[in-house]
Chain A
Amino acid sequence: MSVDHATVRKIASLARIAVTDDQVEAMVPELNNILGWIEQLGEVDTSAVQPMTAVIPNVLRLRDDVVTDGDVRDAVLKNAPQAEQGFFTVPKVIE
């Protein structure tokens, strides 16, 4: 597997990361190096191995259905670039 310039631009755009042409130029070989390195794993026959889903031998803990949190609007809005009347506000997004 390898990526080209267009793929790198698309991934950057999906992740909302601005990249310059120079950065894309540098990133294509860099990412391809990483992908090539990881692809070595494909040489191992894993057809009889279950995918590992977690590194710790634990079960998922569930919580009881009680309200223990919330009602902390000031804390929630504290880092918002802009907030008004208890709402976050963002540049108008409407389809």
Chain B
Amino acid sequence: MSSYRIQGTTGEWEVVIGLEVHAQVTSNSKLFSGAAASFGAEPNTQVSLVDAAMPGMLPVPNAECIRQAVRTGLAIDAQINRWSRFDRKNYFYADLPQGYQISQLYHPLVGEGHLEIDADEKAGILEAKRIGVERIHVEQDAGKLMHDQHPTRSYVDLNRSGVALMEIVSRPDMTSPAEAGAYLRKLRAILRYVGSCDGNMEEGSMRADVNVSVRRAGEELGTRTETKNVNSVRFVMQAIEHEANRQVDVLEAGGKIVQETRLFNPDTGTTRSMRSKEDAHDYRYFPDPDLLPLELTEAFVEECRASLPELPDAKRARYVDVLGISAYNAAVLTAEVETARWFEALLDQGAEAKQAANWVMSELFGALNRLGKSIEDSPVSPAQAAELLTLVTDGTLSGSLAKQVFEKMLETGDSAGTIVERDGLKQTSDTGAIEAVIADVLAKNPGQLEQYRSGKEALFGFFVGQTMKAMAGKANPAVVNELLKKALG
């Protein structure tokens, strides 16, 4: 249980949250037609007569969409229903040419599953927590309406119409905005590892309907509201925060919560009632007579299972237990599938795991951050990075020289070996050369030498610095330390 509570004027309130996430299935073509499912095409160019609901058109399901939903179900340890069925959800709206959405109400493809959110003390999540997923069903997306193109007309683009969505319905197991945020991030990570959804919330590939209710500790569940189509983790957290506080205000003023659909305004962080007519939710579901029940063979399900990659939780545990990477580094390196892929490519090139992890976390992330690039666009490849790390391991480069070489790699795209040769950045352990420089440094700083010898030992660092500076950072720090100690007697 999270410690999150709303402080009302009459006492504390708990918040109960469930999320329905709509995730666009990664596929070439639509759920029931052969039109392209990609984003951003000219209006109505990715529409078949099936998607436009012309009379006599029949839907034929896309095997890949079914496969991706099953893989997603397996990734959250869910029951895969060998027998499921499509239903019609009837309503009228200008973005829905059929007059119904083909969905799955009574017999969804995927049943009960779960995922785990991680402890995050800063966010008030005191320990890892399992969040139940009630079901995943497959359904069609609707078209898109544009209201700002004409003073009296709305424009309709059906390119999205019929694109496959997974609706992933959680149990009301979350009790704070932070937990809801953690659930969304974990779900997004799993979808991206599995490859069933790109998780791109800006392009609308993933959006959430947020169910919120409040209650006093230990009481029955309160009446909930549903805030529709919230399209970022931050907005979901804001919507919960606002909605929970609004409900507490209403209840404490003696009012009642109306079960209703609400809209989130990202500019103000507030929600408002959609004031729809009540019967808008009278969907009159019935089995779609155009489609036979969907029956899966064991072979199909097993193929889906065998095709799953190592998932984030398992990967993180392996990084800690097998590779010896710190828990924090392992969590960061496995949070995004691209980061994990890049890191593992680096290990495949022979880099040592702990050294590689530290380097990626500090040097690479620092550089990417500065350059405003993502890891997929890293100017330095895993092979180039592995070469740099090898030069550190074999003593050719000190840590600070490696930083210099890495900067030059980013600037020029040249390999570490080339830069070391060309710019003479090799670390030297040549005791003769270092001794000569030390003698020179001591001669030039008689005052400091005097103070050091009379007991001010903190000046040792000063001599190290002067020596390194005189050698342009190329001296092996361990050798410098040793020789300085000798020289200073």
| B307 beta carbon closer than 8 Å to chain A | no
CA distance A69 to B58 in the complex (A): 13
Please tell me if the beta carbons of B45 and A53 are within 8 angstroms of each other in the complex. Answer: no
* A88-B44, A95-B276 as given contacts; A63 in contact with B293, CB under 8 Å: no
Q: A69-B33, A92-B147 are in contact. Are A64 and B63 (CB under 8 A)?
A: yes
Q: Determine which of A62, A66, A72 lies in contact with B28 in the assembled complex, contact meaning CB atoms within 8 Å.
A: A66
Tell me the complex Cα distance, A16–B284, Å.
14
Bound CA span A93–B65, Å: 31
Q: Are B47 and A93 in contact (CB under 8 A)?
A: no
- Interface of A with B (CB < 8 Å)? 10, 13-14, 16, 53-54, 56, 58-73, 75-77, 79, 82, 84-95
| 11 A/B residue pairs, CB under 8 Å, sorted by A | A14-B279, A54-B293, A56-B292, A65-B28, A66-B28, A67-B34, A69-B33, A76-B48, A76-B52, A87-B43, A87-B157
By DSSP majority rule, is chain B's interface helix, strand, loop, or mixed?
loop
Rounded to whole angstroms, the CA-CA distance of A92 and B154 in the bound complex is 5
Chain B residues lying within 8 Å of A79, measured Cβ to Cβ, are: 54
For A59, list chain B residues within 8 Å (CB): 292, 295
- The reply to whether A63 and B62 contact each other, CB–CB distance below 8 Å, is yes
Stretch at the interface among B87-95, B125-133, B219-227, B239-247: B87-95
Cβ of A59 to closest chain B Cβ, rounded Å: 6
- Across the interface, do A60 and B34 meet the contact criterion of CB distance under 8 Å? no
> How many whole Å from A83's CB to the nearest CB in chain B?
9
B side interface size, CB within 8 A:
56
B50 touches A (CB below 8 Å): yes
Q: Is B316 an interface residue (CB 8 A)?
A: no
Nearest A-chain residue to B277, judged by Cβ? A13
Asked if B76 CB lies within 8 Å of chain A CBs, one says no
Inter-chain CA distance A61–B291, complex, in Å, is 9
Query: Given the complex, which residues of A lie within 8 Å of B45, measured CB to CB?
Result: 70-71, 73, 86
Please tell me if the beta carbons of B147 and A94 are within 8 angstroms of each other in the complex. Answer: yes
Instruction: Check B267 for interface membership: any CB of A closer than 8 A.
Output: no
Asked if A62 and B62 sit within 8 Å, CB to CB, the answer is yes
Q: Does B79 contact A (CB under 8 A)?
A: no
The answer to whether A86 and B284 have CB atoms under 8 Å apart is no
CB distance from B123 to the nearest CB of A (A): 34
B28 touches A93 (CB 8 A): no
Q: Mark B376-412, 1 if CB is under 8 A from A, else 0.
A: 0000000000000000000000000000000000000
At the interface, yes or no: B146 with Cβ under 8 Å from chain A?
Answer: yes
A93: contacting residue among B34, B62, B94, CB under 8 A: B94
Q: What are the interface flags for B274-303 relative to A under an 8 Å C-beta threshold, 1 for contact and 0 otherwise?
A: 111001001010010001111100000000
- Residue B361, interface by CB 8 Å: no
Query: Among B51, B157, B275, B293, which residue has its beta carbon within 8 angstroms of that of A60?
Result: B293
Please state if B94 and A65 are interface contacts (CB–CB under 8 Å). no
Q: In whole angstroms, how far apart are the Cα atoms of A65 and B282 in the complex?
A: 34
Complex Cα–Cα for A65 and B66 (A): 10
Known contacts A67-B36, A75-B49; 12 additional CB pairs below 8 A are A10-B279, A59-B292, A59-B295, A62-B61, A66-B28, A67-B35, A71-B46, A76-B49, A82-B153, A92-B152, A92-B154, A95-B263
